Structure 1
Amino acid sequence: MDGMHDLGGKQGFSPINKEGKRTAFKADWEIKAGSLMGQMVGQRVFNMDEYRHAIERMAPAHYLSASYFERVFTGVASLCIEKGVITPQELEQAIGEAVPLSVPSKSGRAHQGSLPDLKIGDTVRVRNLFAPGHIRMPGYVRGKVGTIVGVSPAYPYPDAAAHGLESARQVSFDVCFLASDLWEDGSDSAEVHVGLFHAYLEKVEG
């Protein structure tokens, strides 16, 4: 899903504001929104991939104008309505005004077929994948070549888990890219590490 949330590598958003040490929450409602998200995941009303995808489905103008915890609330509220926990009318009555929600989800996908034999030290290319639903592949690494430097335990495959589909768990690989390979003539000399699920990668031979 190439949504507005996929901002990595995009220009025009000004430098990152380094505020230094600050509190995690600025208001009591932010604590409640974060707690509600944790409770819903803990009670298996929805999973983390569904939650991430709900935020991705926010209207672009709403996403860009919303704070972090506004996005948390929108994702939770949208999923609670979609799961039948609360109706839109009940939510509006509780809030006292209309609440903008995420747009409906498009289809997800389970992984099919074999996976390449990969290990630390291998050179890999990120597959040129596009998905209408949830995908945890940053757009700026699509088609790029890097080196595997780490491996995680197996986790639910997000492309399927965000849509209630069954699919085998997969490890994710810590892939190291050179910034100059990602953004030619437009970056500092640096390394960029990205966690990428097994199915997103193909081995580069030779």
Structure 2
Amino acid sequence: MDGVHDLGGRQGFGPVRHTEFAPAFHAGWEKRINALYSLAVKRGIFNMDEYRHAIERMEPRHYLSASYFERTMTSLATLCVEKGVLTREALEAAAGGGFPLARPSAPGRGNAPDRETFRPGDHVQVRDEHFAGHVRMPGYIRGKRGVVVSESPAYPFPDAHAHGVEAADEPTYDVRFRSEELWPNGGESALVHVAVFQSYLMRVPAP
């Protein structure tokens, strides 16, 4: 889905901040939230694509102001309410006030009906499409052309898996893009590799 979370490859945000040897957790509650989220996935309450999509569904101002583990907590709480594990009233009673949850989900979708199998060296283009549900196609490659390098094993198709829609598993293709294709006049010449699900690609002739 389009949203404020899709910042990969976007320009104008400055350098990525990095602290060497930073601790994984900064407070005890972060460890508990991480453990509860991992347990929920292990018990089959929700899957990783549902978890990611619930974070994407956060109200934009909440998403931008939240820490990593606050986003995890919001996703965990939202999905537990949606799955009937607990109620929002119980959450708010425990919190002593309002407890923000993610916004409702949009419908999912199945595999692209015209998807193809590709081989290394094939020229492809990422479909130029917008989808309201969960999608694992970063916005900066939308509509761009590249070359297939390799194929992965098949995985659950995220556009369906996040929404409980039946779909065939799909491979991802390692697609090599030229930086000039992704960011015209915007950076140094380089090759960028992105893992792209089969349904997001279509074959194009070699230039």
Same fold (TM over 0.5): yes
- What do the CA deviations read for 1:123-181 (whole angstroms, capped 9, x no partner)? 21101121111111111101101122222111111111111110000001111211121
For structure 2, list consecutive stretches of 5 or more residues without a partner in the other structure.
none
Which residues in structure 2 correspond to 1:169-184 (within 5 Å)? Answer: 169-184=169-184
- Please list every run of at least 4 consecutive aligned residues from structure 1 whose deviation after the TM superposition is greater than 3 angstroms: none
- 84-93 or 189-198, which moves further after superposition? 189-198
Task: Report how far residue 109 of structure 1 moved.
Answer: 0.6
Corresponding residue for 2:156?
A: 156
- Give, in whole Å, the separation in 2 of the partners of 1:29 and 1:134: 28
- Give, in whole Å, the separation in 1 of the partners of 2:27 and 2:149: 40
TM-score normalised according to structure 1 size: 0.95
Identity among equivalent pairs (%): 52
Cα RMSD, aligned residues only? 1.3
> Could you say what secondary structure the match of 1:21 adopts?
coil
Task: Report how far residue 190 of structure 1 moved.
Answer: 2.2
Which residues in structure 2 correspond to 1:83-162 (within 5 Å)? Answer: 83-162=83-162
- Give, in whole Å, the separation in 1 of the partners of 2:24 and 2:190: 29
- Give, in whole Å, the separation in 1 of the partners of 2:143 and 2:192: 15
Task: Report how far residue 72 of structure 1 moved.
Answer: 0.6
> Could you say what secondary structure the match of 2:181 adopts?
helix
> Could you say what secondary structure the match of 2:170 adopts?
coil
Q: How many residues align?
A: 206
The one-letter amino acid of 2:197's match is F
- What do the CA deviations read for 1:82-111 (whole angstroms, capped 9, x no partner)? 111010010112222311110000111112
- Give, in whole Å, the separation in 2 of the partners of 1:121 and 1:26: 46
Corresponding residue for 1:46?
A: 46
Contact 2:157 2:168 in 1 (8 A): yes
- Give, in whole Å, the separation in 2 of the partners of 1:24 and 1:203: 42
Task: Report how far residue 70 of structure 1 moved.
Answer: 0.7
